[in-house]
Chains A and B, each alone.
Chain A
Amino acid sequence: MKKLRLDQRHVPLAATLVVCVLLYVLTGLQYPSFFSPLVLADLFSDNARLGIAALGSTFVILSGGIDLSVASVMALATMFMAAAVERFHLNPALAIVLTLLVGSGVGYLNGALIHFFDLPPFLVTLATLFLARGCCFLISMSPVAAEAPFFQSFGEAGQHLGTITLHLGTIVFAGVAAACIYAAHFTRYGRTVYAMGGNEQAARLMGLPVGKTKILVYVFGGLTAALAGIMAMANIPSGDPLNYLGQELDVIAAVVIGGTVLTGGVGYLAGTVLGVLILGIMQDFITFGNRDAAWTQITTGLLLFVFVAMQTILSRWKPRHRSTGPLHATVRNA
C-alpha cells in the first residue's frame, strides 16, 4: 500500500504547509517586490535567531514539557558575549564556547530540577526565566555595545551565491535544522523524545532512558537559545538586558504553529521551520505595509488560536477503526 496516507499525525503539518504557502503568495501579490530572492534570503537570516531557538524548544515540547525561559537565555547570551569580548577582552571563540556552556548550564538546571524533583516544567522554567533575566541585569544595567572588530566581521560573514548573500545566520539555521531533523528521526534519542511525549509512563516501563533524555532536551533547549543569542548579535551587535523582553512566547508560538502538539508526542521539526517562516512572512507583511507593529502580536495570537483550536478539535474527534472492519485488522485463517 504505497498510496499517500493522510495519517492523523500529518494533518497539522499539512495545514502549516498550506498556510505558509498561502501567506507567501498573498504577501507577494500585495507587495510584488516580495517575490525577490533577496527578500527570501533575508527572510531566513532575519528569523535565524527565532528559528534556532524554536528548533531546540521543539524537542522540549515534543517530550511533553515546556520551556518558558528561552527568551531570557537568549538575552543572557547576548549580554555574556558582549561583556566577555568588550569588558574582559576574551578571545571571541572562547567567548562563544563559554556562552554556549552558560546556556547549556541553565538548561541543565531546568532539566535536573524537573526530573530529579518531579517539579512541573512550567513553574521551573518560569523561575529560570526570572533567574536569567536577573543575571542579565547583574552583568550590566544598561546595554553593552559590541564594537570589537570581531562583531563587525561576524555581522558580515556569509557565503555569496550570485546576487544574494547567505548570511552566517542562515547557514547556521540550516545546519541546526538539518541536525535536528536527523536527530529526531534517525537517533534513539529522538525516538525516545517522541515516546516520552506520547506516553511517558509506558516509555519508562519499556526501559527507555526517560530521565536522561528529559534532562538532555532541556540542555539542548538552553544550548540552542544561547546559540540563537549569539547569532542575533550578527544583526544587532549589542547586549541589552531588555532584549526579547515580552517575547517569551514567540518561540512557543512558532513551534505550535509549526504543527507540534503542545501536549507532546506529535510534531515535526521541519514543521517548526515552516512555523518560523510563517511568523517571518507575517512580520514582513506588516512592515512592508507600514502598519503598526502591534499587528504582529495580534496576528501571532490569532494564528496560534486557529492552530490550537484545530489541534483540539482533531484530538477530540479521532476516528476509531473498529477491529472487525475489513480494511484494517483481520485475522487470517490459521
Chain B
Amino acid sequence: MGASCRIALDLPNPLPSPPPAYHRREEKSFCPMADTPLLQLQKVRKVFPGVLALDDVDFSARRAEIHAIMGENGAGKSTLIKVLTGAYPRDGGRMLLDGAEISPRSPQEAQRLGISTVYQEVNLIPSLSVAENIFLGRQPTRWGRIDWRQIRRRAQAAIERLDLSVDVGRQLSSYSIAIQQMVAIARAIDISARLLILDEPTSSLDANEVQRLFAVMRKLRDEGMAIIFVSHFLDQIYAVTDRITVLRNGRLIGEYPTAQLSRQDLIARMMGRELADLDVQLQQEKTGGEASRGRPLIPSPGTPGEGQGGGRAPGLSVTQSLLRARGLGRSGSIQPFDLEIDAGEIIGLAGLLGSGRSEMARLLFGIDVADSGEMEIGEKKLVFRHPRQAIALGLAFCPEDRKTSGIIPELSIRENIVLALQARGGLFKSLSRPRQDEIATGYIKALGIVTPSAEQSIANLSGGNQQKAILARWLAADPRLLILDEPTRGIDVGAKAEIQKLVLSLCRQGTAIIFISSELEEVVRVSDRVLVLRDRALVGQLRGSAISEQTIMKTIAQDRPAEVAQ
C-alpha cells in the first residue's frame, strides 16, 4: 500500500476519528451466519443486443463488511448493480439471499427483500419534510388517517440511529446534499435493509461531509449491515472499504481484501497493461516537445477576414503575463487567491473533491462574479460579470458536465462547434455556411471525432467524441487561455490519451491552459506548474521537478502552505 493512502487517512479531521476497522471486525465472528455471504451472485450473465455486459460474474456481499466494486467505464459495474437491485432481469446465473434464491423484478421488490440503494442524486422529495421523506409511501395510519405524531417519532429514531441530530420537521431542501443523503440512508435502513448499496455517494460532497458519511457507513457495518460501495475515488476506497471486487469488460477479475491490494495492482487489474504503455507514450510526447516545436497538431482557425472568424483577440504583448489575478475571491465559493499565467503555460489545479477547483475556474471565466480582488489581462484591470466578457478577452472554458452545460443536444456537430465563434461575433454577423463547414470538418479531422458527417446530431456521439466537439468549439475561437474542467472524465483510455496529447500540443502553440482533473497522474503528467487547493483555498504551488503525486498529496495534507519548490 503506497504512501499516498496513508496520507489520505491523515487528513485533518474536525470529527473524532472512528476506531480502526480491524478491531471491530473481530466481533463479527460471534454471528453464526457470518461465514455465509448475505448475498451471492453465481455465474450471473446479462446480454444486451450486441454486447455481453456481464459474463458469468460471481459476486458476494458479506454481513458487517463494506465491499467496493471497481472498474473502468464499460466494465459492467452499473449493470451488476442494476441486476442486484432488480432494475434489470438477469439472463443467466443465480442470485442467493441468505441461501435462498431470489429474482427481484423491480427496485421496489428488491427493497422489500432488504436490498436498498442510495444514489448519487438523492431521490427524495426536497419540498417535503425529513420525517415525511423517510415514511413516504408507507405512512402509518390511525383510524384511517395518517398518524403524523408517529411519523415524527419514528423518523427521529431513524435519524438518531445514524448519530445525526436533525430537525425532522424541516423541509429536506433546507439541508445540504450530504445530510439529504443521510436521510436517504435512514429511509433505506428503516425499510429494514440488510444490504445497502451506495452508488457514487461522494461525488457532490466536500471533505468533511465525506468523513461524516464514512462514519455512518462504519457504524452500520459494525452493526452487521452489508454495504456495497461504488466509487471511482481510489483514496476513499482505501479509506473505508474492507474488500474490493474488480470487473473489467464484463468479467470478474478478482475479489481482494483491501488491505492486501496495492494501488498500482488495483489500477493494473482495472485497466490492464494499457496504462503502462500510455505512460511511456506521453512522457515521450512531453520531452519530445522541443523537436516538434513549430509543427502544430491543430490547424489554426484560418485567416481573419470573415467577419470575426479566426484571429486572436488583440492586446497581448509577448513579454507580459497573460493573466494576473490578485486577491480574487467569492465568499461561500473560494477564498481570495493570486494567480499568474503566461502564454504557453499549462497550470494544473489539484485538490480533493470540493476543494474549490471548479469554483476557481468559474470565477476566472465570469460564470460566478467575484466579490473581492480583480484580474489584470493585458492592460485592462477588471472583474468579469458574464462569460461573454471573458470570451471577448480570449478566455475559453470546457465545463465539467458536458451533458448539462456543454453540448446542445438537438443541434448538429457543426452548429455546436461554431457556436462560441458566432456568439463572439454578435447577433447580426454570421459566418457563411461554407466557412462553417470548413471549420467544422477541419476540427473533426484534426481531433479525430468519429462521425459520418458534421450534420449529425451531437447527441448521437459517444462521450469522448462529444468532449472533443466541445473542445473544438473553443479551439475555433482561438483562445489565449483555455480552462479545461475534468476534460477526460468518463472517457475511455484511448480518447483520454488523445486529449492529453492535444493539450500538450496546444501549449506549444502559445495557448495557456488551466487543467483541472481529479486524477493526479494526469495533472502530474501534463502540467508545468501545479496549484494545490484544499477546502476552498489555494494552499500551495509546485513547479517543475517538485511536481509529483506525493508532493501534491503532502501539500494538501500540510497545515501550512508549501513553499514553491524550484
Instruction: State the A residues within 8 Å of B (CB).
Output: 1, 5, 7-9, 182, 185-188, 191-192, 194-195, 197-199, 201-203, 205-208, 265-266, 318-324, 328-334
Contact = CB atoms under 8 A, between A and B. Distances in A.
B173 interface: yes
17 contacts: A1-B167, A5-B169, A8-B173, A8-B174, A191-B139, A194-B125, A199-B127, A202-B123, A203-B125, A206-B136, A265-B128, A319-B174, A323-B212, A324-B208, A328-B174, A329-B164, A329-B179
A205 B184 CA distance: 12
Contact of B178 (A197, A318, A323): A323
Contacts of A333: 16, 163
B209 interface: yes
Interface residues of B, number: 37
Interface in B170-198: 170-171, 173-176, 178-179
Contact of A186 (B123, B127, B145, B209): B145
B173 A318 contact: yes
Nearest to B119: A205
A236 B33 CA distance: 76
Given A328-B166, A329-B166, A187 B146 contact: yes
Given A328-B175, A332-B163, A265 B15 contact: no
B284 interface: no
B311 interface: no
Interface in B140-157: 145-146
A2 B170 CA distance: 12
A199 B123 contact: yes
A263 to B, nearest CB: 10
A265 B127 CA distance: 6
Contacts of B125: 194-195, 198-199, 202-203, 265
A331 B15 CA distance: 8
Contact of A331 (B107, B164, B173): B164
Contact of A198 (B15, B128, B139, B179): B128
A5 B174 CA distance: 13
Nearest to B132: A191
B175 A185 contact: no
A320 B18 contact: no
A205 B121 CA distance: 12
A207 B170 CA distance: 23
A331 B217 CA distance: 13
Nearest to B111: A207
Interface in B207-222: 208-209, 212, 215, 219
B126 interface: yes
Nearest to B219: A334
A316 to B, nearest CB: 13
B124 interface: yes
Contacts of B219: 334
B288 interface: no
A54 to B, nearest CB: 21
A198 B174 contact: no
A333 B18 CA distance: 10
Contacts of B145: 182, 186-187
A188 B124 contact: no
B327 to A, nearest CB: 24
B536 to A, nearest CB: 12
B224 to A, nearest CB: 16
B127 A323 contact: no
Contacts of A197: 127
B175 to A, nearest CB: 6
A188 B145 CA distance: 9
Given A188-B146, A205-B107, A321-B174, A334 B163 contact: yes
A315 to B, nearest CB: 10
Contact of A208 (B15, B107, B137, B176): B137
B169 A199 contact: no
Nearest to A261: B127
Contacts of B170: 5, 7, 328
A65 to B, nearest CB: 16
B134 to A, nearest CB: 11
B165 A329 contact: yes
Nearest to B163: A332
B203 interface: no
Contacts of A320: 174, 176
A329 B107 CA distance: 30
A196 B125 CA distance: 8
B108 interface: yes
A334 B18 contact: yes
B240 to A, nearest CB: 15
A201 B163 CA distance: 29
A331 B137 contact: no
A334 B220 CA distance: 12
A328 B170 CA distance: 10
A203 B219 CA distance: 28
B136 A208 contact: yes
Given A7-B171, A321-B174, A331-B212, A198 B126 contact: yes
Contact of B215 (A323, A330, A334): A334
B176 A186 contact: no
Contacts of A334: 16, 18, 163, 215, 219
